[in-house]
Chains A and B, each alone.
Chain A
């Protein structure tokens, strides 16, 4: 079976029904503001809003567990090391880094979990993000799975020929060769995909059947989230000064 891209089933929720443009604008600004927060109470408030939005988004529990599991594992590096090396200061720094990252990640999950990825990218295009940037993002998304697919096949071929990864020269050389083969095969496949797209009239512009339409709920979400995040930002500023 191919690993090629598994689309998340977008479950119906109030957030899934919103216009992706407004949602993208609101959540991008929320992510930006969260990135600037410095004090723990403000960061925790942003995290609370993100978690509340996740609850409203009604994302599948399995989807969330997988994503949070992988992310928290990555975060553990900071959460464990900083208190050990920096003491009490490090503990607070770890809390700040961890909760801010979780808040940003949660906003991102709300964005990706409530609309198909391609629609979100089209929304970005509609908001004025340059076309080359949106195309690179969409095609990168497509090719990540192509590369993953190629990698799984190469790995299987290696295992069938008795290869086991060890800390020796032979393993390093094999990993190097596999990386090269992966790039070459990925490039070949990318070329064929590009040719197939051009045969179907692709002219460098992604089109969608989705028609964006602003409704009152879109403006309300944007205004409410901006008011909340603006308030948190002001509070954070006040606490710092």
Chain B
């Protein structure tokens, strides 16, 4: 049987000198699923992403990404080409002075031959509709374009799993609509952490509700998001489209 895309078994993580940011999480995400990750500020959504990507040190054996343990240094080195993280603030993701160089940053880190790096960059830029902006400084683009550059930088790594942290933040309605359309057509496993619950409804069938580092609900998006009492208890609101008319 194939490995699940993500398997989390008793994941607990604490920043030094602080109470646990993640407490004994258990869940599994199958390949090709698109899952919403919701919760109030400080729930641990970004921390979970960083643990899954192997950036924060999770305990050994507590997570498995396509069969790789992010806590194992040798296996962690295999993760960047399998799991991509799009950060909340796109500016944090830019390291180079032009869009082309920035998108090439990841593939270069994989030690790919120059021709393949160029091919991947061109492919990612075309896919995200950024062809023609190669020589522009990423910092001077609009919010939507920045988000697409950040996405292109991750897609150029050709990951099988995409973790998107607040992807609709800083986007105007048109940018949000374009992003939804783009993600909808993008194959692979996706976890979308967001406060934009309408976006979750639009994109995800399943949702995980995280609060104070604990998994409070895991179920069908419509069912979880329509529970007024549950949503209120965790500092969220039933999306407008699910409220009784």
Contact = CB atoms under 8 A, between A and B. Distances in A.
A195 interface: yes
A192 B89 contact: yes
Interface string B165-205: 00000000000000000000000000000000000000000
Contacts of A108: none
A209 B117 contact: yes
A131 interface: no
Q: Chain A's interface: helix, strand, loop or mixed, by majority? A: loop
Given A192-B92, A196-B93, 9 more contacts: A1-B140, A118-B96, A193-B95, A199-B84, A201-B106, A201-B110, A202-B109, A207-B109, A209-B104
B160 to A, nearest CB: 14
B217 interface: no
Contact of A2 (B77, B111, B139): B139
A202 B54 CA distance: 12
Given A4-B91, A200-B154, A208 B80 contact: no
Interface of A: 1-2, 4-7, 116-118, 142, 189, 192-193, 195-203, 207-209, 211
Interface string B107-146: 0111100100110000000000000000001011000000
B226 interface: no
Contacts of B98: 7
Contact of B108 (A189, A198, A199, A209): A209
Contacts of A2: 91, 139-140
A200 B139 contact: no
Nearest to A149: B91
B242 interface: no
A196 B137 contact: no
Interface of B: 50, 53-55, 77, 80-81, 84-85, 87, 89, 91-98, 101, 104-106, 108-111, 114, 117-118, 137, 139-140, 153-154, 157
B114 A211 contact: yes
B85 A196 contact: yes
B129 to A, nearest CB: 21
Contacts of B93: 193, 196
Nearest to A2: B139
A106 B147 CA distance: 39
Contacts of A199: 53, 55, 80, 84-85, 154
Contacts of B54: 198
A5 B139 contact: yes
Nearest to B100: A209
17 contacts: A1-B140, A2-B91, A2-B139, A2-B140, A4-B94, A7-B137, A195-B50, A195-B55, A196-B85, A196-B87, A196-B93, A199-B55, A200-B154, A203-B77, A207-B111, A208-B108, A209-B114
A142 B96 CA distance: 8
B150 to A, nearest CB: 9
Nearest to B85: A199
B92 A200 contact: no
A199 B65 CA distance: 14
A207 B140 CA distance: 24
B92 A198 contact: no
